[in-house]
């Protein structure tokens, strides 16, 4: 029964009781476990693991791939706030965002137009990765695409990948900041999003860049943060060693002085 595929879904302790119910084996669960261990019976319960997730789309320069999406934030009174944002794939910089009381296609057009201001002198249009929601598939969006500054690619339709980069940022925004504050009004959400966007873009080093901020990566002003941190850690370690040696020497001097006085 232990090695039978007919019972591979039954835990060993439960199998012991099931065997008694079936009138086949009358032994305690501890006896079953002991015999399984002694005779090294292998239960046919090998797991079939799903394929590992693929690495998502990765751009080689700023303004190559953008991701745009909308998320819903529920307020204390039960109403909803709609947060729209677009993020640059290469630098992870939030290029533009809006907070509104309703899901309007105009907000998507406005944040894309704002983000596209930096593409006026660019010879390469940015590809916007979006889902197939109504805010991303409409006549106004088509007009913006036809201007030549942007290209549109629908996630899971035109490309096989999802829009996971902006969705990951939504999780960070909500769980690391918005949900830590009382969300009572739309203006409160707007102020909180503004603060977090500024912190994300210019203050918090991104883990993908080992020390650089999204602003530094987007504008090309990044410094050798990795080398600088290595140098600072070495200096801090040296200062700590020297301080510990000085403290040890003072203790030894005090003991020597006490022995001399004695």
| pLDDT for position 196 | 97
**DSSP strand pairing (94-100 vs 150-154):** unpaired
| pLDDT for position 124 | 83
Q: How far is CA 63 from CA 86, 207, 217, 220, 222, in A?
A: 11, 20, 11, 12, 17
pTM of the model: 0.72
Q: Is the pLDDT of residue 95 over 90?
A: yes
Residue spans of the domains in the chain: they are 5-39, 65-219, 224-262
Q: Is the pLDDT of residue 233 over 90?
A: no
Q: How far is CA 17 from CA 2, 21, 30, 90, 160, in A?
A: 13, 6, 11, 58, 49
211 compared with 34, residue with greater pLDDT: 34
Q: How confident is the model at residue 223 (pLDDT cuts 50, 70, 90)?
A: low
Return d(Cα 144, Cα 247) in angstroms, integer: 68
- Locate the DSSP E strands across the chain: 65-74, 80-88, 94-100, 126-130, 150-154
Q: How many CB atoms neighbour CB 154 within 10 A? A: 16
Q: How confident is the model at residue 103 (pLDDT cuts 50, 70, 90)?
A: confident
Tell me the average pLDDT across 75-81. Answer: 96
Q: How confident is the model at residue 85 (pLDDT cuts 50, 70, 90)?
A: very high
Tell me the average pLDDT across 17-39. Answer: 95
Q: How confident is the model at residue 250 (pLDDT cuts 50, 70, 90)?
A: low
Average pLDDT, the chain: 88
Say which range, 26-40, 121-135, 183-197, 221-235, has the weakest mean pLDDT: 221-235
Rg, the chain, Cα only: 30
Q: What percent of the chain clears pLDDT 90, i.e. is strictly above it?
A: 57
Q: Is the pLDDT of residue 87 over 60?
A: yes
DSSP run (H or E) holding 37: helix 29-39
Among 72, 102, 98, smallest CA distance to 84 is for: 98
Is the Cβ–Cβ distance between 97 and 85 less than 8 Å? Answer: yes
| pLDDT for position 252 | 62
Q: Is the pLDDT of residue 261 over 70?
A: no
The SS3 of residue 201 is: helix
Return d(Cα 58, Cα 28) in angstroms, integer: 57
Among 59, 44, 20, 71, smallest CA distance to 217 is for: 59
Tell me the average pLDDT across 60-68. Answer: 93
Angle at which helices 29-39 and 12-21 pack, to 10 degrees? 120
Residue-wise pLDDT tens digits, 111-169: 999 998 877 667 788 999 999 888 888 888 888 888 888 899 998 888 888 888 999 99
Sheet with strand 150-154: strands edge to edge: 94-100, 80-88, 65-74, 126-130, 150-154
| pLDDT for position 256 | 62
Is the Cβ–Cβ distance between 68 and 128 less than 8 Å? Answer: yes
Is the Cβ–Cβ distance between 91 and 64 less than 8 Å? Answer: no
Q: Is the pLDDT of residue 225 over 80?
A: no
Q: What topology does CATH give the domain 65-219?
A: Nucleotidyltransferase; domain 5 (3.30.420)
Q: Is the pLDDT of residue 55 over 80?
A: no
């Amino acid at each position: 029964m232990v090695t039978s595929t007919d019972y591979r879904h039954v835990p060993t302790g439960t199998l012991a009781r099931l065997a008694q119910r079936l009138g086949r084996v009358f032994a305690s669960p501890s006896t079953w476990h002991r015999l399984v261990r002694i005779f090294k019976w292998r239960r046919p319960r090998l797991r079939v693991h799903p394929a590992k997730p693929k690495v998502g789309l990765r751009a080689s320069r700023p303004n190559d791939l953008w991701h745009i999406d909308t998320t819903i934030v529920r307020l204390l009174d039960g109403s909803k706030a709609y947060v729209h944002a677009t993020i640059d794939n290469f630098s992870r910089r939030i290029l533009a965002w809006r907070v509104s009381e309703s899901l309007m296609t105009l907000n998507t057009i406005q944040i894309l137009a704002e983000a596209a201001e930096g593409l006026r002198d660019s010879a390469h249009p940015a590809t916007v990765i979006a889902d197939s929601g109504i805010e991303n598939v409409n006549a106004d969006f088509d007009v913006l695409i036809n201007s030549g500054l942007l290209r549109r690619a629908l996630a899971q339709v035109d490309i096989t990948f999802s829009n996971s980069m902006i969705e990951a940022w939504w999780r960070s925004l909500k769980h690391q900041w918005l949900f830590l504050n009382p969300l009572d009004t739309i203006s409160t959400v707007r102020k909180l999003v503004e603060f977090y966007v500024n912190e994300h873009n210019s203050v918090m080093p991104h883990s993908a860049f080992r020390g650089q901020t999204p602003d530094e990566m987007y504008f090309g002003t990044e410094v050798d943060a990795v080398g600088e941190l290595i140098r600072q850690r070495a200096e801090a370690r040296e200062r700590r060693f020297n301080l510990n040696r000085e403290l040890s020497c003072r203790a030894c001097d005090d003991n020597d002085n006490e022995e001399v006085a004695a």
